[in-house]
A and B are shown apart, each in its own frame.
Chain A
């Protein structure tokens, strides 16, 4: 086995341990949250008997240890419990909503990386020229505008004034013929049915949320790329490259190579952040993702929803970090595993 494969395997074998820690964290988080779930469900004026019944139904009359082990047991079977309020399975709900969120998050990150790298490279390369200075203004400008505000401006201009994009009311047109339901997620079902019409509709609706999120996230990539390109350009490595007569585009490429690791790291970090923070954009565009749903759960104190959300996003983020580590190791010859 190659050293890299061994390293990857080692990281993957650690996954269950980390998942266990996340699951435990989610459990503890929910137990320390203030408020009594039974009161929440039965209402403030419920009788003692009614409350006791709800408690027993939820297993809250059992010892904390018992609750913990049965929670882990269900988790092993992929059961994240049911929402206190809708009674729907949290697992099903996540499965239905996660793909929709990914339709925004993944392309946003892609846009952000490309746009941010371009802006950051220009900024670093022309840091003493007007072009470079204007990129600094651009970056801080973007960072100063909250993404939802950008979203609202874009909606106003491009949807209502110029009528280029569909109204921000979810992923589909009212008239869109939905694909046959198999997984519950419209996106995945459309894929399975190879229904390009539906996917096209989703794409049309995704452009604005992706653009507003992507532009905002781009500022972070731009900043880190600008910093590392600026630094790299004054290194002996670049001096030698120029001394050998390499064309400037190669010189810039050399400088960019050094920022590869920080860009990858940012992708993983911002991916995690977006999983947790996609709520606002989802609310603005009425997007049926996990963010808006989880926010709703948090506001209502819907503990299984909160718990499930923490476990699932935690798991995804951990996997993303493992992928990141392996990728960084694979791309940098200096790292020995």
Chain B
């Protein structure tokens, strides 16, 4: 069983030490990723998606700190690994793409020089070999004039092109797992789709896996196989995209789905805000906003409970399964 799981995240916790107190940003996140999975992590802004993704890649920056839990990649524990050992894995077996393509690229070095550094981080290669590898990688991400791009600088690229370059760099060593944090938020809608088509295509091609952080449920619906819904740093629901979208069990998931504007429909915004992450609630963090909340909810934290393997929700009073799924 273990071999089929490329990534296992267990009880992961991240906290930020601030002047106001300790911000509990990630509070016990568990999930698995299997080869071929595209796992979408969704939730409102500030619910700990980025913090989770960074913690997995060992990129948590002070004042943030991974305060507990485990991240196993191909049966190797990553939490607590030294930067030196971690860097052998990053970029090689795990690719990482961040939100802003322009932010990610070095503004002063040429694209070719940056490619060379990325390639040489994991293998020996002459300048010429690096160039060839880079040209191929750029062609793979659908860049028509790779020569020109290679000789240029980040600021000469459009947003979509820059993100393609970033993807090409992140995937130049054929990582088995790609971590992407809202990779298209900074781009306009048509380009967003092109980029997501491209990335998920590359992932599917080679049986690779991906964790895709997004706040856009339509992206999850279109591109992901599985989804993890987060609230206040905790997972509240997990399952296949079909299961969760058809038949949400957690009231928060239901609210999220209802807030997605359909054609001709008004956006029904979520009322209220996230709970205090410093003085974290003892009970269900969603209780304040939940229409189903009872006295129990305010007192006791609901744990993730699965009804079917791979399908779980953290709620004392979950919504009924739609019949067809309850049966399956």
- Show the binding face of A for B, using Cβ within 8 Å: 128, 233-237, 239-248, 250, 254, 257-258, 260, 331-334
Contacts and interface: CB of A to CB of B under 8 A. Distances in A.
Contacts, number: 93
B158 interface: no
Contacts of B16: none
A92 to B, nearest CB: 45
A260 B108 CA distance: 10
Given A128-B62, A242-B59, A333-B153, A257 B109 contact: yes
B166 interface: yes
B121 A240 contact: no
Interface string B109-131: 11000000110011000000000
A29 to B, nearest CB: 41
Interface string B56-94: 010101100000000000000000000110011111100
18 contacts: A233-B61, A235-B103, A236-B103, A237-B104, A237-B106, A237-B107, A240-B96, A240-B97, A242-B59, A244-B91, A245-B118, A246-B117, A247-B87, A248-B84, A260-B108, A333-B153, A333-B155, A334-B108
Given A236-B99, A237-B103, A248-B83, A243 B91 contact: yes
A254 B105 CA distance: 10
B59 A239 contact: yes
B100 interface: yes
B50 to A, nearest CB: 10
Contacts of A233: 61
Interface in B41-63: 54, 57, 59, 61-62
Contacts of B104: 236-237, 239-240
Given A244-B170, A246-B87, A331 B92 contact: no
A238 to B, nearest CB: 9
B98 interface: yes
B26 interface: no
B319 to A, nearest CB: 38
Given A236-B104, A243-B95, 16 more contacts: A239-B96, A240-B105, A240-B170, A242-B90, A243-B90, A243-B96, A243-B98, A244-B96, A245-B92, A248-B87, A250-B117, A254-B106, A258-B107, A331-B108, A333-B155, A334-B107
Contacts of A334: 107-108, 153, 155
A244 B178 CA distance: 11
Interface residues of B, number: 37
Interface in B205-224: none
B169 interface: yes
Contacts of B59: 239, 242-243
Contacts of A241: 106, 117
A257 B122 CA distance: 22
Contacts of B110: 333
User: Do most interface residues of chain A lie in helix, strand or loop, or is the interface mixed?
Assistant: helix
B57 A243 contact: yes
Contact of A239 (B98, B122, B153): B98
Contacts of B97: 240, 243
Nearest to A336: B155
Interface string B145-184: 0000000010100000000001001100000000100000
Nearest to B99: A236
Interface string B288-322: 00000000000000000000000000000000000
A254 B106 CA distance: 7
A247 B54 CA distance: 18
B61 A246 contact: no
Contacts of A257: 106, 108-109
Contacts of A248: 83-84, 87
A235 B105 CA distance: 10
B105 A237 contact: yes
A334 to B, nearest CB: 5
Given A244-B90, A245-B89, A333-B153, A234 B61 contact: yes
A244 B169 contact: yes
A150 to B, nearest CB: 34
Contacts of B98: 236, 239-240, 243
Contacts of B95: 243
Given A236-B98, A258-B108, A245 B87 contact: yes
Looking at A245, A331, A332, A333, which has the most chain B CB atoms within 10 Å of its CB? A245
Contacts of B54: 239
Counting from the closest, the 10 A-B pairs by CB-CB distance are: A243-B96, A245-B91, A236-B103, A240-B104, A244-B91, A245-B90, A333-B153, A244-B118, A245-B121, A245-B87
Contact of A245 (B100, B122, B155, B179): B122
